[in-house]
Amino acid sequence: MVAAGLIVLLAVVLWTLAQGAAPTFATFGLDFFTGRQWDPVNNVYGALPYIYGTLVTSAIAIALALPVSVGLALLLNEVRSRLVRNPLTVLVDLLAAIPSIVYGLWGLFVMAPFLNKYLAPALAGTLGRLPLLDSLFVPTPAVGNMLNAGIILAIMIVPIITAVSREVIATVPHDLREAALALGATRWESIRMAVLPHARSGIVGATMLGLGRALGETIAVSMLVGNGLGISTSLLSPGYTIPAVIANEFREATSTGLQHSALLALALVLVAISFVLAALSRLLVRRSERMAS
Amino acid sequence: MTTGLRPPKRLHSIAARKAKSAAFMGLLWAAGVVAVVPLFLLVGYVLMKGLPALNASFFTQTAPPPSVPGGGMSQAFLGTGLIVGIATAISVPLGVLTAVYLSEYGRGRVAASVRFVAEILLSTPSIVAGAFVWGIVVVAMHSFSALAGSIALTVLMWPIITRATEESLRLVPNDLREAALALGVPRWKMILRIVIPTAGSGILTAVMLAVARGFGETAPILLTSLGNDFINTNALRPTDAVPLRIYTYAQSAFTQWQTLAWGGAITLLAAVLVLSILARVLSDRQQRRIG
């Protein structure tokens, strides 16, 4: 009975949000996703800038976090000394326990000023001078920008991708590693020949879980992303994300217009994407583990 | 599906291959360092900025007007206690019962779908939990409240407790269950007297992890409990919480408020890290005892 409650909870969450979002979709239809105007005064709602900002910050986060996480997961699998492995595991787990508000506070007062002073001009001066990349790194005087938000997200999702990747990598049979080594493979070759092919779909699953977390992260991102409406190709300009706009506008929203409904529509989109990613991730990780055994 | 080695297409000299291997191992170590450096930087700064903010008035006084020295966050501490306390009281029975069902009774398709849904709900974005509870609780009660915040946290904590408790119940050896059943003990009594006590510290671990999560969540509380400058002990009224207060103060221009935000961050970080480390120690002990 109680256990079925979880299924009921899932259904009620989706139903409540869909109910709230219905007027918005009835009014704007698919224009809700492609509209660039978000104007509570005139009751016009288009979510494209938020969708764009969410995708860009999450993409930065994955691009930075994936190599680090996979490298770390492989390292934890390689290192036999418990003196190194245990502390490293504990430290990464603690990273996952830190509340997002603490990341946000540290990011806002320490990380962002530092990056804006050193990293942003450096990027604009080097990569920003190259053709094709020049539109990505146009410096702005704004404190918050999409790159900073992406970097804090990367720090936050490393423990998630690492933990799941590690689980998958641990299921790779030892025989395969030993066979590779016995054939004269170097350590790296044995990883590439025996470990990575078997762990690949699991690592993809781990990444999806990290992506879901990055898409839904609210507080740290809303403190760092700049909350600027508009679509800019430059990673160094302010952006806005779906969770951030829900957090910022929800309490002030008036009940007369469609604002609450539009925000609930954004929440529905977000939760639908998160659930699909979580389900896919689960299937991939399970398949990877079954394949290995 | 192929389960074998994937040999490289061509081989270079052994020296080159060894150098390449060493270089990649170096990269793995670099990844390890890059991953943990932010932890030290963050904890270091929070200690540096937060410790000076901690004094008697920080824990005993309520929110100060802007630019007035002194003041504290007592209303936020009490509020967090109230919100997380109610959330724990709701989600622990729900989570433990769900886990007992999954581990002791759950067979077949129903159990598989409950387990799957628990996995999925683990990834509910916290802001969505807030928006959902706003939609069904705040609107219905015509008021933001501590209770609404607790329900939003329950949405997040129930799956966490379920998953972690089920894992610890599965560590209980089947011999114990069979021995009890063979002695003629009814199943419910076997679960109550044998399985749950044996998994005890594992269940405590699950609860601690969920409580740590509850302490730190900002977004769901923002849309449901709203915040309050004064001490409130009525669960049906708007209530303050530590993360909420940090969020407000961090975005203000007043240095006194920012100092209080760092003080809030250090207490929050301490509480969450102590809970996580304790949880870890407990679960390690349980695994060693049973396994």
Task: Output the domain CATH number for residue B228.
Answer: 1.10.3720.10
B34 domain residue, yes or no = no
B1, pLDDT greater than 50: no
Inter-chain CB proximity B135 and A278 less than 8 Å: no
pLDDT at B10 over 80: no
CB-based contact (8 Å) between A170 and chain B? no
Q: Does a structural domain hold residue A25?
A: no
- Give the mean pLDDT of B135-143: 92
Residue B178 within any structural domain of the chain: yes
Parts of chain A with a pLDDT under 50: none
B39 falls within a domain:
no
How far, CA to CA in Å, does A76 sit from each of A1, A42, A163, A186, B149?
41, 55, 10, 18, 39
Cβ separation A193–B134 shorter than 8 A = no
- Whether residue B226 contacts residue B247, with contact meaning beta carbons closer than 8 Å, is answered with no
Nearest to A92 among B5, B36, B122 (CB): B36
Average of per-residue pLDDT values in chain B:
92
Contact A258, A27 (CB under 8 A): yes
B42 and A159 Cβ atoms separated by less than 8 Å: no
The conformational region for residue A226 under phi > 0 = left, psi -120 to 50 = alpha, else beta, is left
> For the domain that residue A193 is a member of, what is the CATH number?
1.10.3720.10
Angle between helices A196-216 and A259-292 (to 10 degrees): 170
| Chain A residues whose beta carbon lies within 8 Å of the beta carbon of residue B269 | 98-99, 102
Q: pLDDT per residue over B158-176, tens digit each?
A: 999 999 999 999 989 999 9
| A271 reaches B (C-beta below 8 A) | yes
Q: What is the pLDDT of residues B189-242, one digit of tens each?
A: 999 999 999 998 899 999 999 999 999 999 999 999 999 999 999 999 999 999
Residues 216-275 of B with CB under 8 A from A: 216-219, 222-223, 226, 243, 246-247, 250-251, 258, 261-262, 265, 268-269, 272-273, 275
Question: A203, A70 in Cβ contact below 8 A?
Answer: yes
- C-alpha B210/C-alpha B95 separation (Å) is 10
Please tell me the predicted confidence (pLDDT) of residue B70.
Answer: 84
Q: What does the pLDDT read at residue B8?
A: 66
Nearest by Cα to B270 from A218, A157, A100, A99? A99
Q: Which residue of A has its CA nearest to B137?
A: A16
Phi and psi torsions of A219, nearest 5°: -70, -50
DSSP for A150-169, written as a single string: HHHHHHHHHHHHHHHHHHHH
- Asked if B74 contacts B231 with a C-beta cutoff of 8 angstroms, the reply is yes
Give me B115's structure tokens: 């387990």
The pLDDT of residue A292: 67
Other residues' Cβ atoms within 10 Å of the Cβ of residue B113:
14
Asked if residue B173 is part of any domain, the answer here is: yes
Select from A24, A79, A98, A249 the residue whose CB has the most chain B CBs within 10 Å, as the one to mutate to test that interface.
A98
Q: Looking at residues B93-111, what average pLDDT do you find?
A: 91
What secondary structure does DSSP assign to A117-145, as a single string?
Answer: HTHHHHHHHTGGGSTTTTTT----S-S--
Q: Which amino acid is at B137?
A: V
Q: Could you report the per-residue pLDDT of B244-276, keeping only the tens digit for each?
A: 999 999 999 898 999 999 999 999 999 999 999
A251 touching chain B per CB within 8 A? yes
- DSSP annotation of B10 reads S
Long-range contacts of A113-118 (CB under 8 A, 24+ apart): A113/A143, A115/A147, A115/A148, A115/A151, A116/A143, A116/A145, A116/A148
- The alpha carbon dihedral of B155, B158, B159, B160 has a sign of positive
What is d(CA A219, CA A213) in angstroms, rounded to the nearest whole number? Answer: 12
Residue B187: CB partners within 8 Å, gap ≥ 6? B104, B181
Q: Is A10's CB within 8 Å of B120's CB?
A: yes
Q: Is B120 on the interface with A (CB under 8 A)?
A: yes
> CB B218 to CB A219 under 8 A?
yes
Q: Which of A20, A98, A216 sits opposite B42 (nearest CB)?
A: A98
Q: Which residue has the higher pLDDT, B66 or B133?
A: B133
Phi and psi, residue A38, nearest 5°: -125, 100
Determine contact: A275 vs chain B, CB below 8 A: yes
Write out chain A residues lying below 8 Å of B119, CB-based. Answer: 278, 282
For residue B21, give the H/E element and its range.
Answer: helix B14-50
Please, which residues 60-79 of chain B have a Cβ atom closer than 8 Å to chain A?
none
**Chain B stretch 136-195, residues whose beta carbon is closer than 8 A to a beta carbon of chain A:** 136, 155, 158-159, 162
- Supply A210's token pair: 């990290």
Indicate yes or no: CB of A223 within 8 angstroms of CB of B250: yes
Per-window interface: A 69-88 vs B, CB < 8 A: 69-72, 74-76, 78, 88
Q: Which ranges constitute the DSSP H helices of chain A?
A: 2-28, 31-34, 48-78, 82-97, 100-106, 112-117, 119-125, 146-170, 174-182, 187-190, 196-216, 219-224, 242-249, 259-292
Nearest residue on chain B to A199, judged by CA atoms?
B3
A285 assigned to some structural domain: yes
Q: Does some domain include residue A30?
A: no
What is the Cα–Cα distance from A205 to A161, expressed in whole angstroms? 9
Chain B partners of A16 at a C-beta cutoff of 8 Å?
132, 135-136
Q: Is A67 on the interface with B (CB under 8 A)?
A: yes
Query: Shortest Cα distance from A215 to chain B (angstroms)?
Result: 8
Helix (H) or strand (E) holding A44: strand A44-45
Give tens-digit pLDDT for A13-65: 999 999 999 999 999 999 999 999 999 888 999 999 999 999 999 999 999 99
- Domain count for chain A: 1
- Note whether A246 contacts B127, CB cutoff 8 Å: yes
Residues A197 and A105: beta-carbon distance below 8 Å: no
- Structural domain boundaries enclosing A211: 49-292
Q: Does B112 touch chain A if contact means CB atoms closer than 8 Å?
A: no
ipTM associated with this complex: 0.93
Which residues, 6 or more positions from A54, have their beta carbon under 8 angstroms from its beta carbon? Answer: A215, A241, A242, A243
Cα B133 to the center of its chain, rounded Å: 19
User: A68 and chain B: CB distance < 8 Å anywhere?
Assistant: yes
Residue B217 to residue A254: CA distance in whole angstroms: 25
Answer whether A72's CB lies under 8 Å from A158's CB. yes
Domains contained in chain B, number: 1
The reply to whether B44 falls in a domain is: no
Residue A142 lies in a domain: yes
Q: What is the domain range of residue B215?
A: 79-290
| Token code pair at residue A139 | 């410096």
Name the token pair of B228.
Answer: 């309050």
Q: What is the helix (H) or strand (E) element at residue B132, kind and residue range? A: helix B126-133
